[in-house]
Amino acid sequence: MDAAARTWLAPAKINLALHVTGRRADGYHLLESLVVFTRFGDRVEIEPADADRFSVSGRYATSVPIDDSNLVVKAREALRRQAGQQRTPPVAIRLEKNLPVASGVGGGSSDAAAVLQGLVRTWGLDIGEAELSRIGLTLGADVPMCLAAKPLVARGVGDELSLVPDFPALALVLVNPGVAVSTPDVFNALEKRDNEGLPPLPRAFDFHSVRNWLEITRNDLEPAAQAIQPPIGRALSLLNRAGSGFSRMSGSGATCFGLFETGNVAKRAAAEIRSREPEWFVAATRSIASEGADGQN
C-alpha cells in the first residue's frame, strides 16, 4: 500500500460537439460526442488513515454533499466491494472542488474517476483499465470516459469510447454564468431526438481544422438549455466579444467554452470576461492532448 498522500487531477470534461441521435426503450438517450479534458479541474488527495474520512474544500465546496450520495464515496465503496475489505483499508480523501457543480463539465464523474485511479495506486490493487472502466460505468455513464481523460469520441449512452489519435492541446476559456441546469429538464425539452451523428473527423488536426469542423457540428442540448437558462446566451456572447474563434455550451450546460488560437490570447480573453462578470466562473486552460500529439496549438 502506498503510504504517502498523493494528489490526482480530476479534469473538466468538455463536449466540443454533442449530437443526440436517438433514445433507447429504457429512456436513455443515444449520443455522439467529441470530448476533450482540461488541465484545470478538481483535485483529489488520498492517504492512508485510521478510519475512512471524506472532506471538501475549494470555491464550490458548499455545493457538494459529503455523505454517501457523493460519487467520491460511491467510487471508494464500489472499488472496496470489488477488491474485498482485507485489501482496502481506511483512507482519507480530500476533494478540492474548483469546478461548478451540475454545470455540464462532468465534475462529479471526473472526481469519481480520479478516486478510482488514486485508490488502485494507494491500495496497490491489480485492477486493469477494462475492469476499472466496468466499475466506473456502475457509477455513471460519464465515468469511463473520465477514466480515459484523453481526446475521444463517445457513442451509445456515452459508454462506447474511441480515442482520437494526434489530437493537439487546445487553448480554451471556460465560462459559467452561475446558474444550475437540470440535465433531465434539458433532455425533456428536446424537440428532436433522432438527429444525424457527427461528421467524419478532419484528416489532420490544428486550431483551424478543429474550428472548421466544429462549425458543421452542434450541441443538440444547447437550444433547450438556453431556453431554460437565458444567461447561457450571455456567456456565449461574452466569449465571442472577447475574440473566441468558436464558442459553444458543453454538455447540458451551463458551462460554455471558447476556442482560442494561443494560450496567451485565451488568458487575455478570460481577464476581459472576468472584469465584466466578476462573480462568474471563468478559467483559461488547455486541453490534454492525445498521447504523442503536439502539445501546442
Active-site amino acid positions: 13, 142
Q: 221 — phi, psi (to 5°)? A: -90, -15
Say which DSSP state 12 is in.
Answer: E
DSSP H helices in 91-206? 107-123, 129-139, 143-148, 183-188
* Widest Cα–Cα separation across the chain: 57
**Strand 256-260 relative to strand 246-249: parallel, antiparallel, unpaired?**
antiparallel
Residues 58 and 43: their CA atoms lie apart, in Å, by 9
Which residues are registered as beta bridge partners of 194?
A: none
**Helix 107-123 crosses helix 129-139 at what angle (to 10 degrees)?**
140
Q: Is 28 left (phi over 0), alpha (psi -120 to 50) or beta?
A: beta
> Are 11 and 21 spatial neighbours (Cβ–Cβ below 8 Å)?
no
- Residue 203 CA to residue 276 CA, distance in Å, equals 39
Nearest to 226 by CA among 189, 173, 258: 189
